[in-house]
A and B are shown apart, each in its own frame.
Chain A
Amino acid sequence: SSELTQDPAVSVALGQTVRITCQGDSLRNYYANWYQQKPRQAPILVIFAKNNRPSGIPDRFSGSSSGNTASLTITGAQAEDEADYYCHSRDSSYNSHLIFGGGTKLTVL
C-alpha cells in the first residue's frame, strides 16, 4: 500500500505564511485533501480536491500540488490556526482504499 509523509512539526510567526507539505507516490495520480484537528476535537475539512475550501473556511487556507507533493498554505497565520494538520488521499495500490499522512503539528509563535 501507499504512504503519505508529512513533517511532524512546523512553526510560523503570527501573521506570516507557512506551507505544510505531504509527499507520496499516490499524489501523482490522486489529489490531496487536508484536515485541521485541534486538541480533543474531531478533524474538520479545510481543503478538498487539491485546492477547494469548504464553506466557512477562511481564504487564508489554500492548497496546491506538484508531482508527488501536495501543500497546504496558510497565508497570514493566526493563533487559532495552531493545530494538527493531516493530508489524505487514495492509495495508488488499491484505489478504493484511503490513506492519511502522519500529521503535522503547527505551532504559531
Chain B
Amino acid sequence: NAGVMQNPRHLVRRRGQEARLRCSPVKGHSHVYWYRQLPEEGLKFMVYLQKENIIDESGMPKERFSAEFPKEGPSILRIQQVVRGDSAAYFCASSPFGGLGSPLHFGNGTRLTVT
C-alpha cells in the first residue's frame, strides 16, 4: 500500500513565479490536510479538504494561496507570485475519515525554495 505521495520533493522558484505542489492521498482516503513547516518551527495547519470541497482554510494566507482536491486526481496547493517568505517544507496528510479520530500519516513533503 502506497502512503501519501507528494511531488515534487524539491521545488525552486524565483520570486514572482507560481508554485504547484501535488499530493496524492492514500488510496480510498477522501480527507486531505496541508501543513507548512518553517525552519526551526513546528508544523502549522494550512487547509483541510474533502473531495471537491474546502472545509477549513483558516490557516492559509488569503492572498496568493489556494488549494483544491478535485474528484479525480491529486490535491494541489498553489502559491502564486511566490516570495522568499514562502520558502518552507509543505506536508500533506490524508485520512479515510474526518474528526482526527485516527492519527494523520504524512507524505515526505515538498521543500520549496524561493530565490
Chains A and B form a bound pair: no
Q: Tell me the B residues contacting A by CB distance below 8 Å.
A: none
